[in-house]
Structure 1
Amino acid sequence: MTIAVGVFELFTYAIPGSLYVALFTYIAARAQWIDLAAVLKSPSFLLVIVVVLLSYLLGYLAYPLGLLAHKILPKRRKRDVTAEFLRRNPSAKDRPFVQADPFLLLAAIQLQDAEVGADASRVRATGLMLRNCAPPVLFGAVAAIVELFAGRSPVFAITCAVLFLIGGIALVVQGRMLGHWARMRTLEVAFWIPDIDDKFRP
């Protein structure tokens, strides 16, 4: 269980946070607020610890930005996980677990078999990671647009701006897809647990 929680937090917070650290470092160095060469001469062990802590904290603090990006970007189509699952598995129509809250259902699966439940958790964590990586990538697009006017390589700047913009949107879309897969995976696993319905009967 400890490994599963560690993986979830690494994917959901630390990896997106590292992108914020990279972005802020670039802006600070470009604006000459810090001497990057001097920073890189610091003891490696201490530098790694600072980067890891900053990444983790920024990932937590910036989590709402990922949620905001998820809400703002329009959805091309609305996908009902439960309806799709029942269409593929009509024999599960009258089973109580199908209508249960997905997070409560995942907790029930983890109580039954932590290793099996960890699979759905990893897919969900990956989806959240992609979604939370979108804002710093989009901010990178804004920084590239500024570099278009302030820098000396306009072609490189506009190329980066376009790639970052497309990449940020793609991250949100793929994050949604993995979130859908995680909910579907939760239902599929629960289907094969014989007594899972007893936990959701009134």
Structure 2
Amino acid sequence: MAVAAGSATATCLDVGVTIAVGIFELFTYAIPGSLYLAFFAYVVGRAHWIDLAAVTRMPVFLLVVAIVLISYLMGYLAYPVGELANKIVPRHRQNHTRNDFLRRNPAAKDREYVNADPFLLLAALQLHDNEVATDVTRLRATGLMLRNSAPPMLLAAIAAIVELFVGHSPVFASTCAVLFLAGFFALIVQARRLGRWASMRTLEFGFWLPDIDEKFRADS
């Protein structure tokens, strides 16, 4: 009886972990996708192409499922747009994560792993201790979420500028345009910062991986 209860508890824990990871991955795409969905819903509603009031009269369960699925798909399909936005926005500082790490940790100067590919190093970290690697994965995923949320902000700023000329509240429209445009640049900057933090954490965790230098030295 105790063994069965223990097995059931372990199974529930495994399912819970799987669901948690799935929800985190879903939100990484769904949050930017929901912003795209909100923008397009505003455009079609403002142009009177679709009766949004009729859409909201759908069964709540079906409406929620449709919003989640569409948001996820739009966020997934629009992933290259976020990557393009990241390339377009100028960088005020270069990414010298390795140099910063070595300056803070001189003992790692002659370590082989420091020059390894960061994604390969993250894979090694996941094999050694997946729970520790989750911290790096969280930083990377959050950075991608912020980066992919930037283009909808730019679209919203463009829509606000249009409303400045065709709408009835120019002060509100101009305020929204400034805020959305500032949000676009702020999200890109914060995404890059989180990316640097993720790379730094990968190097810091890699410092304590046993035999990691021998592995990369053998591969080279």
TM-score range (shorter-chain normalised) is: over 0.9
Within the candidate set 58, 66, 69, 2:82 is matched to 66
What is the correspondence of 1:92-103 to structure 2 with a 5 Å cutoff?
92-103=108-119
Which residue number corresponds to residue 179 of structure 1? 195
Gaps of at least 5 residues in structure 1 are none
* AA partner of residue 138 (structure 2): R
1:82-112 deviation per Cα after TM superposition (whole angstroms, max 9, x unaligned): 1110110011111111111000100110011
The one-letter amino acid of 1:199's match is K
Work out whether 1:165 is the aligned partner of 2:181. Answer: yes
Please list the CA deviations of residues 169-197 of structure 1 after superposition, one character each: whole Å capped at 9, or x if unmatched. 10000000000000001001111222222
Map 1:4-15 to 2 at 5 A: 5-6=21-22, 9-15=25-31
1:4-60 Cα offsets, whole Å, 9 max, x none, are: 753552343111001001111111111111111111111010000100001110011
Runs of 4+ deviating beyond 4 Å: none
Aligned pair partner of 1:46 in 52, 62, 71: 62
Q: What is the match of residue 145 of structure 2?
A: 129
Match of 1:145 in 2: 161
Root-mean-square deviation (CA), in Å? Answer: 1.4
Equivalent residue pairs, number: 202
How far apart are the structure 1 equivalents of 2:18 and 2:186? 31
SS of 2:48's equivalent in the other structure is coil
Q: TM-score, normalised to structure 2's length?
A: 0.88
Instruction: Indicate the residue corresponding to 1:83 in structure 2.
Output: 99
State which of 33, 36, 43 in structure 2 corresponds to 1:27: 43
Provide the C-alpha distance between the structure 1 equivalents of 2:129 and 2:19, rounded to a whole number of angstroms. 14
- From the CA coordinates, give the structure whose radius of gyration is larger: 2
Structure 2 counterpart of 1:200: 216
Alpha-carbon distance in 2 for matches of 1:138, 1:79 = 25
Query: 1:65 Cα shift?
Result: 0.7
Normalising by structure 1, we get a TM-score of 0.96
Identity %: 68
CA distance in 2, matches of 1:54, 1:16: 11
* Higher RCO (C-alpha under 8 Å, 6+ residues apart): 1
